[in-house]
Each structure stands twice: as C-alpha cells, then as structure tokens.
C-alpha cells in the first residue's frame, strides 16, 4: 500500500476497550503522523469506529454505511481508504490479549471491498517495554513505525 495515495483512514477500535479508552493516543498519533500513521499526507481524512463487540460482525454494517457516505459525499474510492485495526484489537495489552476475531474482521473488511488493511495504530512506551520484557506477547504483523 502506498500511503501517499490514501485519502481516508478508518480506525476500527475494540468495543470493550472503548469503554475505558477515549482513543486519544491513536488520534494524536494520526494527526502527528507518527507510529503506524507516518507517511500519510496532510489532509488525509480520519474516522474511528467500534467493532461493535465480539465477534466484530457489526463491522460489516458500519463499513457499508461508511461506503455509502463515501460515495455520496466524496469522490474517494475504496482503493484510497486504509483501514487500521487499532492496537487494542491486534496486540496483547493491559486490557486483553489480541482479539480472537482478527482474521474474521479482516475478512469482513475485504468482503466490503477494502483491501488496504493495517494492523496497529499507536504503541505507548510502557507497552513497548512490556513487550520487550515478554510480559505482553508480540505479533509480527503489527505495524507501529
């Protein structure tokens, strides 16, 4: 995926984690173009949504609504959208381990025609240290930088 061609970033956050997390760090990382968001152009649009809870099946309806609005209100194509699965979904963290439905959610995203899927958003220094110490498991597919 060429990040410079992306015009819209959608972040899917864990519904359970969103009950405790505002998403502030992920948003700051996006607008600061750091971590997994480095390389996106200024002016790239940003949206967050919840997975809807286990098993993530709500992602289908939410992406369908997003696509409908994308088509009716913009000239942005699906190929110009990157869907990030938030760090709270794809990593072992203080809230819980990696979502057991990650592959299912990625399949839903692909079925809705979105091919630019990124695992990860932001990683705190504390979480980075705990991963290095082996307290949290590491997953190779997760992008932080």
- CATH number assigned to the domain comprising residue 75: 3.40.50
Residue 88 included in any domain: yes
Q: Would you say residue 137 lies in a domain?
A: no
Q: Which two tokens stand for residue 66?
A: 């997003």
33 is in which domain, residue-wise?
A: 3-132
* pLDDT score of 144: 65
Residue 39 has pLDDT above 70, yes or no: yes
Tokens of 101: 């439905």
Number of domains in the chain: 1
Average pLDDT, the chain: 92
Confidence (pLDDT) at 143? 67
Per-residue pLDDT for 140 more than 80? no
The two structure tokens encoding residue 50 = 């919840």
Q: In this predicted model, what pLDDT tens digit does every residue of 125-134 receive, in sequence order? A: 888 888 889 8
Q: d(Cα 137, Cα 145) in Å, to the nearest integer?
A: 18
Given a cut of 90, whether residue 100 has pLDDT beyond it is yes
Does residue 43 have a pLDDT over 60? Answer: yes
The reply to whether 44 falls in a domain is yes
pTM exceeds cut of 0.95: no
Q: Is residue 144 part of a domain?
A: no
Report the length, in residues, of the chain: 145
Q: Please give the average per-residue pLDDT across 113-140, as a whole number.
A: 88
How many percent of the chain have pLDDT more than 90? 72
């Amino acid at each position: 995926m060429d990040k410079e061609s992306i015009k819209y970033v959608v972040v899917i956050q864990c519904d359970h984690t969103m009950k405790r997390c505002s998403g502030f760090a992920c948003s700051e990382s996006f607008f600061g173009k750091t971590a997994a968001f480095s390389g996106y152009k200024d002016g790239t649009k940003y949206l967050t949504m919840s997975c809807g809870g286990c098993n993530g099946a709500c992602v289908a309806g939410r992406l369908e609504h997003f696509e409908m609005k994308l088509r009716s209100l913009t000239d942005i194509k699906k190929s110009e959208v990157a869907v990030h699965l938030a760090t709270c979904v794809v990593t072992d963290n203080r809230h819980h381990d990696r979502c057991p439905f990650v592959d299912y959610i990625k399949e839903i995203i692909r079925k809705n025609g979105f091919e630019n899927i990124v695992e990860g958003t932001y990683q705190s220094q504390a979480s980075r240290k705990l991963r290095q110490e082996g307290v949290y498991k590491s997953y190779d597919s997760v992008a932080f930088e």
